[in-house]
Amino acid sequence: MRKQLKEAKRIVIKVGTSTLIYPNGNINLSAIDQLAFTLTDLQNQGKEIILVSSGAIGVGLNKLNMDKRPPTIPEQQAVAAVGQAELMNIYNQRFLTYSQQIAQLLLTRDVIEFPESRQNVINTMEQLLKMDIIPVINENDTVAIDELDHLTKFGDNDQLSAIVAQLIQADALIMLSDIDGFFSDNPNTNKEATLFSEINEINEELLELAGGKGSRFGTGGMYSKLKAAERILEHNGAMILANGKQPKIIFDILDGEMIGTLFI
């Protein structure tokens, strides 16, 4: 099954905040540079690459010298606005080192659910890929809130990456997280926890194994990753969940090596 990943041409890469931000809140420039190098090289090989990137709030907290998320939604949105600009500055700088042009797309769920705007998003992504530009996609945190009747949020970027993969009919979604894949239990607390190498169906038993939220800077836990995988499987796609500590691991994944958990 993994051998077919070598043939993948259109690939969505999702990076979590844990890849971009150190546990102490500082920005992991080494990982970002490695990500830019890896994705540019894949682009140079003739593949079509789309990056779905978390990290706006994490980078914003760092920029504003704040050590934890503020409690109110307007404060969080202000931090995200600062962080999104700074994150794109860093991405632009690193990708241009390798002569790779990138572009930013900020999305909300209502844009995707409304047929005309959804088609506009697809058209934009297709045109960028045609121009050998890597789209960098994030949720528009400054307007997307999930309260009252204003349900514009995707929930998290795990869901967003699966939706993007679906919209552009990607051959594979590679989700980089702070864990080596999907385990039978939390490997940080249970040494007996075993890694699932391949999963073909998301059932209640697996969802129960998935815990809560991820790091203090991110929002996605293992449950959201399983729900994203469920969406991918419903559309006969492939998703790999792997550790994003060293983003060049993407090369090995696309070489068909037994890394992480393959959902197919």
| Annotated binding residue 54 | yes
Q: Does the annotation flag 260 for ligand binding?
A: no
Q: Is 223 a known ligand-binding residue? A: yes
Known binding residue 120? Answer is: no
The tokens for 80 are: 């995200």
Tell me: is residue 225 an annotated ligand-binding position: yes
For residue 171, give the amino acid letter.
Answer: D
Give the CA count within 13 Å in the CB-facing half-sphere of 138: 23
Task: Please classify residue 82 by burial: count the beta carbons closer than 10 Å to its beta carbon, then call 0-12 exposed, 13-18 middle and 19+ buried.
Answer: middle
With a CB cutoff of 8 Å and minimum separation 6, the contacts of 209 are: 182, 183, 184, 185, 222
> Is 140 annotated as belonging to a binding site?
no
130 among the known binding-site residues? Answer: no
Rounded CA separation 238/5 (Å) = 9
- Integer Cα distance of 207 and 224 in angstroms: 9
Is 177 labelled as part of a ligand binding site? yes
197 is in an annotated binding site: no
User: In 28-156, which ranges are continuous DSSP H helix?
Assistant: 29-44, 56-63, 73-97, 109-113, 115-130
Q: Is 207 helix (H, G, I), strand (E, B) or coil?
A: helix
Judge whether 41 is annotated as a binding position.
no
The CA distances from residue 5 to 14, 148, 161, in Å, are 16, 42, 18
In the numeric block, which tokens belong to residue 82? Answer: 């600062």
CA distance 84 to 250: 24
- Are the beta carbons of 239 and 173 closer than 8 angstroms? yes
Q: Which residues are annotated as a binding site for substrate?
A: 54, 141, 157
Q: Which residues are annotated as a binding site for ATP?
A: 14, 177-178, 219-225
Residues tagged in the binding site annotation? 14, 54, 141, 157, 177-178, 219-225
